[in-house]
Amino acid sequence: MQTWRTNPFEDIVLTHGEGCVVWDKKGRSYLDLLSGCWCSVLGHSHPRLLDVVGKQVSKLIHVGPAFRSEEVEAALHKIEGIVPPSLERTVFLNTGSEAVELAIKMARAATGADAIIASEGGYYGATTYALSLSEAGRNSSWLPSVESMVRIPAPLCRNCPHNMPQPCKEFPCLNELRDLCRSKTFKAAAILYEPALAYPGIIVPPEGYGAHLKELVQELDAFFIAEEVTTGVGRTGRWFGFEHDGIVPDILVLGKALGAGLPVAAVITTQDVEERCRNRLIHVQSHQNDPFSAAVAEVVISVIEEEELVHRAATLGKYLVNRLRELQSKLHSISEIRGRGLMIGIELARELVSKGPEISRRLLDAGFITGYQARNATFRLFPPYVIERKQLDEFLGAFEEILHSETR
């Protein structure tokens, strides 16, 4: 028996981890610059996480969605402290995909409209509907086609097809959407907005872009869903990515970081959305509002607060980007560095694109786990927020050496 093939590094069997380091069966250590699948933001075996898991498992794991628990109360209280006051209804779930699905169901139920506006290049999850909306599902003929979907161009300002001077203020890339929104006949349920798109190689929207989209959907009476499975809970150097845009969403979707490696996700919305969904949406899942998930979320947020990890993500992110830019000007083997907080994309120069997989393997052999995405020739880094500057320096040293030897 084997697992369904998911990755190219099947020769490595990982056994345990501590902090930002994981070890394999042969005793080799690796610096985890990816936080697993961008989830383990507190690193591995954080004592507070181990403690809450152990205690909660022996106290109460699951009660079913009909009951509340002290853990859910405590987690709600924590969440209340970090989200805007208008967001006051939370559903705890397990994965980002199902949280995205629920957010869409809420928007459709509440508005009575079908259409979902989503960015080209985005990834919204592995469940059927979320995948159909995603770039990754675009050419999968076996997926149900989403009739009422409006794709808008990703904000790829570097290659602006309209040749707009940067920074752009008018966003002609949204002209079609603007016309559609003003056509009077168009109705939409929501826009799914990722405050930094991870899938197309880390695309950070320009200033004002998110606010502009929010205005457009407001004109439509549609909802603004901040899809923050990747960007939420500190990753971008703010608690939530929408804070960079100076806006407040109607629905906020969280995953990954909220469980710091355990499967915890959440959909957080307004009382108004809840009321408008009354008698129109019934949502019940086995693992909805589990005390175990809530206890984990509460501790993750507490640790992020106490260890000031949001600030740390912002500071270390800036440091890493600056050091990478120095490398870029020195070696000419990097075409662009993009990032927000500890969510960073390093795009290889054209001459090196064919060597991307080899560079990624060499980094791994040298003890560094990074994510190379061949379709965008981009290394994506999502280190745990607890990573140390000297660990980043070790990576930078190895990366420079490998890039240097590949360009010789």
Cα gap 132→146, rounded to integer Å: 6
Of 15-23, 46-54, 95-103, 377-385: span binding ligand PLP (CB under 6 A): 95-103
Q: What residues between 107 and 126 interact with ligand PLP by CB under 6 A?
A: 123-126
User: Helix axis angle, 291-306 relative to 309-331, nearest 10°?
Assistant: 70
Of 200-208, 222-230, 273-281, 370-378: span binding ligand PLP (CB under 6 A): 222-230
- Which of 236/333 has CB closer to ligand PLP? 236
194 forms part of the interface with ligand PLP (CB under 6 A): yes
Of 160-168, 223-231, 242-250, 321-329: span binding ligand PLP (CB under 6 A): 223-231
Of 27-35, 90-98, 174-182, 303-311: span binding ligand PLP (CB under 6 A): 90-98
Q: Residue 57 Cβ, how far from ligand PLP at the closest point, in Å?
A: 21
The pairing of strands 188-193 and 223-228 is parallel
How far apart are the two ends of the chain, measured CA to CA in Å? 43
Q: Residue 68 Cβ, how far from ligand PLP at the closest point, in Å?
A: 25
198 forms part of the interface with ligand PLP (CB under 6 A): yes
396 forms part of the interface with ligand PLP (CB under 6 A): no
Residues in the chain: 408
100 forms part of the interface with ligand PLP (CB under 6 A): yes
Using CB under 6 A as the criterion, what x/- string covers residues 244-283 for binding ligand PLP? -----------x----------------------------
230 forms part of the interface with ligand PLP (CB under 6 A): yes
Handedness of CA 5, 34, 158, 244 (dihedral sign): positive
373 forms part of the interface with ligand PLP (CB under 6 A): no
Q: Which residues make up the interface to ligand PLP (CB under 6 A)? A: 95-97, 100, 123-126, 194, 198, 227, 229-230, 255
